[in-house]
């Protein structure tokens, strides 16, 4: 089975403050259902209060992510599904709960990992 990354950037989630409790409940309900269905691997949100660092092979630490890359923020879920179609089904459920579009990417298979 393939693991799929379902994500959205923080800027995509434009939700009025009074709806945030409902978004939280609904997103956690989707996660609970994914767990119950046995497709959940892990999920969470990037902590925007902890800045990224880059670590080189020699152990040198540089503040910030890659300069040319867009910032990695927002929420994500990793689910295990047999193909793109059922992964898109779950992405639609997260999109409804979070009130924003979701991106879906497949992890490449690595027989050693």
Residue 69: the pLDDT is: 86
pLDDT along the chain (113 residues), means of 10: 94 93 96 97 94 96 91 93 95 97 94 83
Residue 110: the pLDDT is: 85
Residue 64: the pLDDT is: 92
Rounded CA separation 38/22 (Å)? 24
Rg (CA), the chain: 16
Residue 39: the pLDDT is: 97
User: What's the first-to-final CA gap in the chain, in angstroms?
Assistant: 14
> 16-21: long-range contacts at Cβ-Cβ below 8 A with a sequence spacing of 24 or more?
19/99
Residue 36: the pLDDT is: 98
Residue 45: the pLDDT is: 92
């Amino acid at each position: 089975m393939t693991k799929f990354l379902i994500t959205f950037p923080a800027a995509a989630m434009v939700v009025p403050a009074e709806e945030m409790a409902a978004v939280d409940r609904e997103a956690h309900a989707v996660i609970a259902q994914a767990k119950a269905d046995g497709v959940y691997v892990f999920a969470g949100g990037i902590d925007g209060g902890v800045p990224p660092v880059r670590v080189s092979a020699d152990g040198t630490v540089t503040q910030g992510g890659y300069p040319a890359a867009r910032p990695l923020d927002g929420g994500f879920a990793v689910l295990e599904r047999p193909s793109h179609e059922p992964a898109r089904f779950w992405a639609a459920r997260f999109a409804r709960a979070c009130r924003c579009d979701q991106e879906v990417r497949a992890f490449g298979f690595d027989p050693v990992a």
